[in-house]
Structure 1
Amino acid sequence: MASSATPTPKKIVQSVTVRVPQGMLSPSSSSASSKNFCNRPSNRMYYPSNFKRSAAPARVMFFQNDSWNDLPTPIVEFLRSGFVERKAVVSVEIEGSTVLFDFVRMLQIDLGVGTQRSIAWIDVNAKPFFPRAFVSEDLVEGSDSPKVQINKRINVSGRVLGKRQTEERPMDEDEVTSSITPRSSEWPNVRLVGEPERVYTVCSNLFLAGMKKVDLAAAVTAIHQCVRDGPLDKARLEVFQKQIEITTAARGAANVIYAWCGVSGNDVKGILTHGFGAPSKVSGPQSHGIGLHLSHLSVPFLSAGQSERDDNGEKYAILCRVILGNVEKIEAGSKQCYPSGVEFDNGADDPKNPKWYVIWSTNMNRHVLPECVVSYKSNYVPAQSVRRAYPVDMLISKIKSHLPPSKVQELSSLVCELKGGKLARDDFVKQCRSVTGEQLMASALKDLRLQKQGS
């Protein structure tokens, strides 16, 4: 066990001043003995496999107020050194109180005040290690008994589940699973939002309400909310707020809305750190000028074409606050890259009933402010992906072998109508999907993509 005399900065972690009920701590606890405390009946969960499998932690977090909070760097560095020495429990002196960090039970135990909280970490290989149940046990000042403990389990999508209960059940180490995407550990200036939080509920409901129009199986896997604690992030917010004032003064109203920006996982870090650096990847008939393309709040699936699946099969969309100002109509396929006149600020495919907004490059980082990053899984493939990449005959030949004769006949009829000019391309794609189903279409497109890459 590390020496408790190791100096640490003051006020690294706030301690809770509480009244400890009699019998909670044995008399020997005043001498920093952890044996009796850690063997309390309520403390029966063990995660030795996490401790054995994990490399040294790069981030260490504690669970409080229904969210995961990062420990300060000096404490993380001290804990990392103990972890490298394979110490299952590391003792740290924080504001005169002895705090134990138990990597096997995944608990932070304050011997001075008699509280315990779950801990989690992400190691240097970006692998996350979270306990199956989250524990946050604080005692109320002046109370004779502890609060009811809230135990929460996370399923494989990272969502928080469960109800209030007063006892933890023992967990088999093989049950311990967490698929919170490792990439999230690389994203700056965000916090993982828990499912009970209002931010999660609102953002998830908005996103799924649109996505389920095209894919009933679409699912949100995680939501990260942008935080603005650092000087650069605060400055970015101030610039956005100042731009609202400028636009309001010039136009009478800033016309602030929310919209979706589809991005690849590799782009998220750069956007959160430095802002938007290049126009969106929207081309062909779907492009309405050259700039940052954002889809209307009700149609997040349009932005799915801007995002590529990562190795975990996840895609990403950023919910943004946007200053539109005066909007002009931009025709599909236009190469316009700035306002057509001084009376306009930004563009849209249809100012009265927009599906796409285009924010010009000169405005991107003053008129757009990221709010949340949504990680999700969906088999939906935007229509433009079919139109852009593969001939109809090649796509149909991939699909028809997996369909019954009646469905093949429907597809053949649709192809004849398309080639005969009786059916518009967008209508063809929509009806084709209704015949094949989203999963089969996605699988066929994936096969064609791999075939194209191999040729």
Structure 2
Amino acid sequence: MEFTRDISVLASNSLTKHTLDSQLNQQTYTRNSGLDTTHDDDDDSVMSDCESANSGSAFDPHPSLGEGLISLHEGDKVYDLIKRRLISGLGVLGTRAEIVGIQRNLFPGIIGQARVQSFQIFAKALARKWGGDANVKYAWYSSTKDEICKIIQHGFGCCGKPDNNGLYGCGIYLCPDDSPMECVKNSLVDKDGLRYMLLCRVMLGKVEVVRPGSDQSHPSSTEFDSGVDNLKVPRRYIVWSSNMNTHILPEYIISLKAPSSLKGFGRAQESLRMPTSPWLPFPILISALSKFLPSPTIALISKYHRDHRENKISRRELIQRVRQIAGDQLLIAVIKSYQAKVLT
């Protein structure tokens, strides 16, 4: 919440004539959602170019990522805020990551302006639908350098199932701004040893829980707009394919260096979150989980177990997917219960 507010305010205070933001009311940035969806734009209240802060970040398109990007630098308040959020979200592992660059998407040209305006229109509509709150958040999205270039130029596109084998249905999966770990782990390293992520403004509206293994591709009813894997502590935002280019605004591109295999990331994260316990055979684990999870979810876990036995996925991948599906809290409880039985 505070990150969304802070970065929105900072962004609105660093406008230049190259962005559509110069046509937008500074009041469109609010505490809760980053967009004021209760007032119409008022061009008279637009900040002038001379009032923009941190004007030292001059227009400097990055040739390798395409035009229409402005490079931010150390000392720029937005740069420092994004860097701090990303590094702190990686916990003790943040010391092993190096931010190489942060660039802001200026949404140039008629199409770029239309994308921003479309986002605003839908945000205002959702806010009216839900009593003033469109539930706009910041979230991370990782992909290859080439794919991010295409997203910046043409928007999101779905070809078949998304990442994670369509674990939560057909849509775009993003990680909350305070939980970048999974996004970094799933990012791919290019020939220069760099990983690329987008920091997007995401319009969630009213969310519903999407169960692992779902083949859902749209809201289950008009009462919902998007999905999450957990209502209380979401680790995934699911924006349906039909809304991916109206409800997601890719505002910043982050390039970073991290350990090439990220094995250290996985081991350190598991040591922080998982208890010491005896080896638990997967068939026993699946049987225990069947008491708490619905049949389709157990079927999905069983499928991944078969894939591992047939050498289609590694044991590490199997464990990661089971953790995503069942959640650490349930797994810890099951392991502790098994441990207690073994010791008695």
| TM-score by shorter chain over 0.5 | yes
Shift of 1:224: 0.6
Output aligned runs, 1:356-395, within 5 Å.
Answer: 356-379=236-259
Q: Does 1:309 align with 2:189?
A: yes
Q: Structure 1 184/311 Cα, relative in aligned 2: closer, same or farther at 3 Å?
A: farther
- The alignment-based identity, stated in percent, is 30
Secondary structure in 1 matching 2:227:
strand
Q: Does 1:321 align with 2:201?
A: yes
Give the equivalent residue in structure 2 for 1:352: 232
In the alignment, the residues of structure 1 paired with residue 239 and residue 259 of structure 2 have an alpha-carbon distance, to the nearest angstrom, of 28
Give the equivalent residue in structure 2 for 1:223: 102
Shift of 1:214: 4.2
> Do the aligned partners of 2:68 and 2:107 also contact (CA within 8 Å) in 1?
yes
Q: Structure 1 419/251 Cα, relative in aligned 2: closer, same or farther at 3 Å?
A: closer
* RMSD of Structure 2 on Structure 1 (CA): 3.3
> Do the aligned partners of 1:281 and 1:306 also contact (CA within 8 Å) in 2?
no
Q: Structure 1 199/422 Cα, relative in aligned 2: closer, same or farther at 3 Å?
A: same
| Unpaired stretches in structure 1, ≥5 consecutive residues | 1-63, 71-121, 123-182, 387-412, 431-455
Higher relative contact order (CA 8 A, sep 6+): 2
Q: Does 1:255 align with 2:245?
A: no
Normalising by structure 1, report the TM-score: 0.45
Q: Structure 1 309/224 Cα, relative in aligned 2: closer, same or farther at 3 Å?
A: same
Shift of 1:318: 0.4
Give the equivalent residue in structure 1 for 2:164: 283
1:67 aligned to 57, 62, 77, which one?
A: 57
Bigger share in strand: 1
Q: Structure 1 204/184 Cα, relative in aligned 2: closer, same or farther at 3 Å?
A: farther
Bigger share in helix: 2
In structure 2, give the amino acid aligned to 1:322: V
Q: Structure 1 244/420 Cα, relative in aligned 2: closer, same or farther at 3 Å?
A: closer
Normalising by structure 2, report the TM-score: 0.59
> Do the aligned partners of 1:215 and 1:378 also contact (CA within 8 Å) in 2?
no
1:207 aligned to 86, 108, 111, which one?
A: 86
Q: Does 1:246 align with 2:236?
A: no
Give the equivalent residue in structure 2 for 1:194: 73
Shift of 1:420: 7.9
In the alignment, the residues of structure 2 paired with residue 312 and residue 421 of structure 1 have an alpha-carbon distance, to the nearest angstrom, of 44
Secondary structure in 1 matching 2:175:
strand
Secondary structure in 1 matching 2:101:
strand
Q: How many matched pairs?
A: 228
Secondary structure in 2 matching 1:267:
helix
Shift of 1:299: 1.2
In the alignment, the residues of structure 2 paired with residue 331 and residue 184 of structure 1 have an alpha-carbon distance, to the nearest angstrom, of 41
In the alignment, the residues of structure 1 paired with residue 186 and residue 283 of structure 2 have an alpha-carbon distance, to the nearest angstrom, of 31
Q: Does 1:294 align with 2:183?
A: no
| Unpaired stretches in structure 2, ≥5 consecutive residues | 1-53, 267-275, 290-314, 321-344
Shift of 1:255: 0.6
Secondary structure in 2 matching 1:359:
strand
In structure 1, give the amino acid aligned to 2:241: S
Shift of 1:379: 2.0
In the alignment, the residues of structure 1 paired with residue 55 and residue 118 of structure 2 have an alpha-carbon distance, to the nearest angstrom, of 31
> Do the aligned partners of 1:288 and 1:331 also contact (CA within 8 Å) in 2?
yes
Shift of 1:187: 2.1
- Return 236-245 or 305-314, whichever deviates more: 305-314
In structure 1, give the amino acid aligned to 2:146: N
In the alignment, the residues of structure 1 paired with residue 262 and residue 130 of structure 2 have an alpha-carbon distance, to the nearest angstrom, of 35
In the alignment, the residues of structure 2 paired with residue 238 and residue 204 of structure 1 have an alpha-carbon distance, to the nearest angstrom, of 28
In the alignment, the residues of structure 1 paired with residue 148 and residue 64 of structure 2 have an alpha-carbon distance, to the nearest angstrom, of 12
The CA deviation string for residues 177-209 of structure 1, in whole angstroms up to 9 with x for no partner, is xxxxxx753323211111111111011111111
In structure 2, give the amino acid aligned to 1:295: C
2:151 aligned to 260, 264, 271, which one?
A: 271
